[in-house]
């Protein structure tokens, strides 16, 4: 039985102000007289907010929620083999439910609902990340490579068995030597005209495939990325990285001839996923093994491709695989929301130190510092959930109507997919750790889920693109002013192209949006540029982004007439600046998506509460980057002080609605059946305890 004595979150709107101080300079005076014992949030209000968070694919979310059962939670205390078995069993359950079919086209035997597929993957992030990751490897990466890069015959041959889990596979791209720099991977696939086969080789120790999901135990076929080589007139022609389907194990699980797999064993987390290495020694596969959408080899060994440039071809190929990146960000966001819901519920039942007047213990969430730890993160969780919904909608639209996307829109989508992945996975890691700390010793007990979540989420910052590398990609794209040619430019060309165009494009892009105009029109306090005015908030964030881009472009101008190491030196010395610009862009892009979602909310009370979260999202950015705003004369010290006061005020006000806010995350209720919330082993109040 849960003992959910809730300090502040009564159904009445008054409850919020019960702990609010209107005097920013004063500390909050908790009003213990208003403590309620309902322990419940305002159900109608949280339902209205949930509607916003659930987004376009609310139905898919609801169906997934309904299908979620406690055995989908990360099991504790299993050996590695037992946990791998458990994860595989859960995957089979998902396969049997028909869930994977959502992500494949009708032509391939699926139901072709990208939005629902991505949303379902996201929901798995609330529970066991091993299941989410193994599902992502199997259907998102391995299946996705076949679906996006293969011809119809190949797709027909493999995809039904991929969906049903009859055929388990790997996505074998990374090598020991080449992680982030996959364009230069070393594995080779050389066409042998006589035999009509490709010969796959691992030419050096650093070319060994590493960290590959499903490679240690369950995978039978690997979508293997290799440098494609043909021989014409005795000359070796290299065509860049391509993907081939290479059998790695037989039915019985033994390595195929020429293939050597090894098990990475225990990792920092994700115990249920069998990651391993793969080496190829003259492994022969038929010509049809090449997934030939972007590059084919005919029987005579002649290579052809619709894309001439090796670089552009590779990036186009990668671009078709962004679903994985989107899913990883989404699942990390779900995981962070679960952690916040756990920590918030705990903060409402856990009391430490007695109040001098009442003699009763003070619930953790009454403390200003605890409010500051949890509330801004809840605000960010909302913002990222809305931004994630926007990127899912854009990707679903693209897959449905690719012709409606010109080069610029497609690249923008890819950039934001990269940026949101880096932003949300970093946030999730930081948030799960903070949630665990916010629960003290109880948070450290595995039974309360947070430590397992933290271990499993850790690597989300590394795979599907390392976060630093992805943020740099965002910065580069912005510098290139979304020019279609940018991806094919070398560093010098990039620099030259970026000069003078950056600010114009950023401003134009931001200011031509209808939201921008609407928000700017709504500014009510132009003279004082009130930080709580939505239009001013957008101006503040976009101005920071513009300034950072303009100044980094100016620094890079020095590289215009230089080559090689000199150009690299200039570029490298500005790297932190470029990354800062990439992050600033994501802040303003996320803000705009959040503001749009708030604007579209139909329930007035929910809209008001989400508006406060939106304010807190911006104030949190100002708080974290105060130094920049002050150094660049964007805010005076008076205004940053006022911003801090407003930040504290909002934290307290929103703490009054904490339970409602986290209930809107709609995490399955069984997740909260953990000892720290059900009274086992820690000091919680008896249900119904009165002050």
The residues that touch ligand FAD, with contacts defined as CB under 6 A, are: 137, 171-174, 179-180, 211-213, 267, 270, 275, 459, 462-463, 466, 468-469
Do 347 and 364 touch, CB atoms closer than 8 A? yes
Kindly tell me the burial class for residue 459, based on how many C-beta atoms sit within 10 Å of its own C-beta (0-12, 13-18, 19 or more). buried
- Beta carbon nearer to ligand FAD, 266 or 353: 266
- Beta carbon nearer to ligand FAD, 45 or 146: 146
Total Cβ atoms within 10 A of residue 292: 19
CB of 123 to ligand FAD, least distance (A): 21
Cα 277 to Cα 308: distance, rounded to the nearest angstrom: 32
Kindly tell me the burial class for residue 96, based on how many C-beta atoms sit within 10 Å of its own C-beta (0-12, 13-18, 19 or more). exposed
CB of 314 to ligand FAD, least distance (A): 14
| Phi/psi-derived region of residue 649, left when phi > 0, alpha when psi is between -120 and 50, beta in every other case | alpha
Q: What is the DSSP pairing of strand 188-192 with strand 221-232?
A: parallel
CB of 223 to ligand FAD, least distance (A): 9
Cα 239 to Cα 2: distance, rounded to the nearest angstrom: 62
Cα 227 to Cα 327: distance, rounded to the nearest angstrom: 27
Do 379 and 594 touch, CB atoms closer than 8 A? no
Do 32 and 358 touch, CB atoms closer than 8 A? yes
Residue with tokens 């950015």: 621
- Beta carbon nearer to ligand FAD, 426 or 468: 468
CB of 171 to ligand FAD, least distance (A): 5
CB of 267 to ligand FAD, least distance (A): 6
- Beta carbon nearer to ligand FAD, 32 or 568: 568
Cα 452 to Cα 338: distance, rounded to the nearest angstrom: 12
CA angle 153–154–155, rounded 5-degree value: 90
- Beta carbon nearer to ligand FAD, 460 or 516: 460
Strand, helix or coil for residue 190: strand
Residue with tokens 């999730």: 428
Cα 125 to Cα 116: distance, rounded to the nearest angstrom: 15
CB of 22 to ligand FAD, least distance (A): 45
Query: Which DSSP symbol is given to 28?
Result: P
Closest-approach residue to ligand FAD (CB) = 179
- Beta carbon nearer to ligand FAD, 469 or 489: 469
CB of 26 to ligand FAD, least distance (A): 43
- Beta carbon nearer to ligand FAD, 70 or 268: 268
CB of 228 to ligand FAD, least distance (A): 17
CA angle 414–418–422, rounded 5-degree value: 165
- Beta carbon nearer to ligand FAD, 452 or 546: 452
CB of 360 to ligand FAD, least distance (A): 47
Do 14 and 45 touch, CB atoms closer than 8 A? no
Q: In three state form, how does the secondary structure of 461-510 look?
A: HCCCCCHHHHHHHHHHHHHCCCCCCHHHCCHHHHHHHHCCCHHHHHHHHH
- Beta carbon nearer to ligand FAD, 24 or 179: 179
Cα 387 to Cα 597: distance, rounded to the nearest angstrom: 9
CB of 432 to ligand FAD, least distance (A): 17
Bridge partners for 200 per DSSP:
189, 283
CB of 275 to ligand FAD, least distance (A): 5
- Beta carbon nearer to ligand FAD, 172 or 297: 172
- Beta carbon nearer to ligand FAD, 94 or 241: 241
Do 410 and 376 touch, CB atoms closer than 8 A? no
Do 168 and 348 touch, CB atoms closer than 8 A? no
CB of 227 to ligand FAD, least distance (A): 15
- CB under 8 Å to 684, separation ≥6 — which residues? 3, 349, 350, 676, 677
CA angle 537–542–544, rounded 5-degree value: 100
- Beta carbon nearer to ligand FAD, 170 or 229: 170
| Phi/psi-derived region of residue 440, left when phi > 0, alpha when psi is between -120 and 50, beta in every other case | left
- Beta carbon nearer to ligand FAD, 51 or 264: 264
Q: What is the DSSP pairing of strand 209-213 with strand 221-232?
A: unpaired
Kindly tell me the burial class for residue 653, based on how many C-beta atoms sit within 10 Å of its own C-beta (0-12, 13-18, 19 or more). buried
> Alpha-carbon Rg of the chain, whole angstroms?
26
- Beta carbon nearer to ligand FAD, 136 or 295: 136
- Beta carbon nearer to ligand FAD, 559 or 671: 559
CB of 462 to ligand FAD, least distance (A): 5
Q: What is the torsional sign of CA 300, 302, 303, 304?
A: negative
- Beta carbon nearer to ligand FAD, 452 or 623: 452
CB of 216 to ligand FAD, least distance (A): 11
CB of 476 to ligand FAD, least distance (A): 11
- Beta carbon nearer to ligand FAD, 463 or 516: 463
Tokens of 20: 């609010």
CB of 497 to ligand FAD, least distance (A): 20
CB of 144 to ligand FAD, least distance (A): 12
Query: 146: closest CA among 238, 282, 246, 249?
Result: 246
């Amino acid at each position: 039985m849960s003992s959910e004595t809730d300090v502040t979150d009564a159904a009445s709107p008054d409850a919020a102000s019960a702990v609010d101080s209107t005097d920013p300079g004063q500390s909050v005076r908790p009003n213990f007289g208003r403590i309620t014992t309902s322990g419940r949030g305002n159900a109608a209000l949280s339902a209205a907010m949930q509607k916003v968070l659930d987004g376009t694919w609310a139905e898919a979310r609801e169906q997934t929620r309904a299908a979620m059962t406690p055995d989908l939670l990360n099991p504790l205390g299993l050996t590695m083999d037992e946990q791998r078995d458990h994860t595989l069993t859960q995957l089979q359950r998902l396969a049997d439910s028909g869930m994977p079919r959502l992500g494949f086209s009708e032509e391939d035997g699926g139901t072709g609902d990208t939005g629902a597929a991505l949303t379902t993957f996201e929901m798995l992030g609330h529970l066991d990340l091993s299941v989410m990751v193994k599902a992502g490897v199997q259907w998102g990466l391995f299946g996705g490579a076949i679906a996006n890069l293969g011809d119809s015959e190949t797709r027909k041959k493999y995809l039904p068995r991929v969906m049903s889990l009859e055929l388990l596979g790997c996505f074998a791209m990374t090598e020991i030597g080449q992680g982030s720099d996959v364009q230069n991977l070393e594995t080779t696939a050389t066409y042998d005209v006589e035999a009509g086969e490709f010969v796959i080789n691992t030419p050096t120790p650093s070319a060994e495939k590493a960290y590959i999901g499903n490679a240690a135990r369950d995978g039978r076929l690997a979508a293997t990325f290799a440098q494609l080589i043909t021989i014409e007139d005795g000359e070796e022609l290299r065509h860049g990285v391509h993907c081939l389907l290479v059998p790695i194990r037989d039915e019985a699980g033994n390595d195929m001839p020429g293939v050597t797999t090894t098990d990475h064993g225990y990792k920092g987390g994700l115990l249920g996923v069998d990651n391993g290495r793969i080496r190829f020694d003259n492994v022969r596969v038929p010509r049809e093994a090449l997934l030939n959408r972007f590059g084919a080899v005919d029987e005579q060994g002649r290579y052809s491709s619709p894309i001439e440039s090796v670089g552009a071809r590779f990036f186009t190929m990668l671009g078709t695989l962004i679903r994985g990146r989107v899913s990883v960000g989404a699942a990390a966001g779900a995981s962070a929301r679960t952690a916040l819901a756990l920590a918030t519920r705990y903060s409402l039942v856990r009391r430490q130190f007695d109040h001098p007047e009442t003699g009763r213990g003070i619930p953790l969430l009454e403390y200003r510092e605890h409010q500051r730890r949890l509330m801004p993160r809840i605000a960010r969780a909302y913002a990222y959930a809305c931004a994630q919904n926007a990127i899912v909608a854009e990707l679903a639209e693209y897959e449905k109507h690719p012709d409606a996307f010109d080069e610029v829109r497609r690249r923008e989508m890819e950039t934001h997919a990269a940026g949101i992945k880096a932003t949300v996975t970093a946030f999730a890691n930081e948030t799960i750790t903070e949630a665990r700390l916010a629960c003290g010793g109880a948070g450290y007990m595995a039974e309360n889920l947070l430590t397992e979540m933290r271990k499993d989420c850790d690597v989300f910052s590394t795979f599907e693109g390392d976060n630093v590398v992805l943020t740099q990609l965002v910065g580069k794209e912005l510098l290139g002013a979304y020019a279609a040619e940018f991806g094919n430019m070398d560093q010098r060309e990039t620099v030259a192209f970026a000069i003078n165009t950056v600010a114009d494009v950023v401003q134009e892009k931001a200011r031509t949006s209808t939201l921008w105009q609407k928000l700017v029109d709504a500014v009510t306090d132009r003279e004082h540029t009130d930080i709580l005015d939505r239009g001013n908030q957008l101006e503040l964030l976009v101005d920071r982004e513009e300034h950072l881009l303009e100044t980094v472009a100016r620094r890079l101008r020095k590289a215009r007439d230089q080559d090689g190491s000199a150009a690299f030196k200039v570029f490298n010395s500005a790297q932190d600046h470029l990354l800062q610009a990439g992050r600033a862009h994501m802040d303003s892009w996320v803000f705009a998506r959040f503001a749009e979602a708030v604007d579209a909310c139909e329930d007035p009370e929910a809209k008001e509460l989400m508006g406060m979260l939106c304010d807190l999202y911006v104030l949190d950015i100002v708080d974290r980057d105060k130094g920049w705003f002050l150094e660049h004369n964007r805010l005076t010290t008076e205004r940053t002080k006022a911003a801090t006061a407003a930040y504290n005020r909002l934290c307290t006000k929103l703490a009054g609605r904490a339970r409602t806010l986290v209930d809107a995350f709609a995490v399955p209720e069984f997740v909260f059946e953990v000892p720290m919330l059900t009274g086992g082993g820690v000091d919680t109040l008896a249900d119904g305890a009165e002050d």
